Structure 1
Amino acid sequence: MDTNGIPSRLRAADADRERVATRIQAAGGEGRLTLEEVEDRLSAVYSAKYTDDLAALTSDLPKPAPKRRPVALGHPAVRIHLAIAVVLSVLLIARWVASGAPFFWPAMPMFWLAMSVLVHARVRGARRRFKPEDGIAVA
């Protein structure tokens, strides 16, 4: 125990073991480890009691790349589309204020403007996921 009463070695959970085992199997699939090394390390992973034992098994492997969240409005054409939709929405609201209508009639055109931007972003996102070598024609 350290001075704060926290144990210096933490027991490994099943989720910790599975995470390390997946990383070792991936390294074996990439050719970084031989089949014998993968088998030895996996047996050590499932018999490990502490997290520092697990860390030692992957210390010579490269760190996995952090997962990036896809950007919905990343394409410049979608950002331009969004800007135009916002400008049109502001103009519609200004017209509604000037007209003095008792109900908010710009709600429906603004809804369809928003839907068009969302569909555009979705289509651009789908196009980005496919590569030409996938054999899928994208217009």
Structure 2
Amino acid sequence: MEDTHPARIRAADADRERVATAVQHAGSEGRLTLDEVEERLTHVYAARFTDELTALTADLPRPAPPRPGFPLTRDALRRHPALRLHLAVAVTIAAVMIVRWVVLGAGFFWPGFPMFWLAVSLLVHARVRAFRERPGAAVPY
């Protein structure tokens, strides 16, 4: 005897929490009344399969994907040794240029121009790293 129904996937606690958060967020936005939130949360925590959870949020809008933030963060520096090295080289070069400017006694702060381009190169490097980490980003051959 063949089973014509697709296999159902059991819901994990993390799945229930994700859906419960979405329902609570919809309630806080005014998309659902307090009674609807309460009713849906009761169904969320009673759900055994993922398709039951999907039905509870089918009429709610999908959350917008997170916007990329500032690419140069401590977390990014922790994950990418090449980015740390780039930062160290940029800071060292900037320090050498500033020391040279002070020693030579030049009136015009000329190290500002190369330091600007060092900062731009570091930000571009961090942005490229962040872009490559996005889900679905093309991987170069």
TM-score (norm 1): 0.51
The Cα shift of 1:83 comes to 0.8
2-structure distance, mates of 1:51, 1:101: 68
The Cα shift of 1:110 comes to 0.2
1-structure distance, mates of 2:46, 2:104: 70
> Is the Cα–Cα contact under 8 Å of residues 23 and 37 in structure 2 kept in the other structure?
no
Aligned to 2:134: 129
2-structure distance, mates of 1:116, 1:47: 50
User: How many matched pairs?
Assistant: 94
1-structure distance, mates of 2:140, 2:107: 46
Output the aligned Cα RMSD.
3.9
1:58 aligns with 2:44: yes
Aligned to 1:97: 102
Structure 1's unaligned 5+ residue stretches are 1-16, 24-44
> Is the Cα–Cα contact under 8 Å of residues 82 and 117 in structure 1 kept in the other structure?
yes
Residues 72-83 of structure 1 aligned to structure 2 (within 5 Å): 72-73=76-77, 74-83=79-88
Structure 2's unaligned 5+ residue stretches are 1-19, 51-65
Over the matched positions of the two proteins, sequence identity in percent amounts to 41
Write out per-residue CA displacement over residues 9-47 of structure 1, whole angstroms, 9 at most, x where no aligned residue.
Answer: xxxxxxxx9931889xxxxxxxxxxxxxxxxxxxxx956
TM-score (norm 2): 0.50
Helix, strand or coil for the counterpart of 1:103? coil
Change (3 A) 1:117 1:60: farther
The Cα shift of 1:129 comes to 2.1
1-structure distance, mates of 2:32, 2:125: 48
1-structure distance, mates of 2:127, 2:85: 15
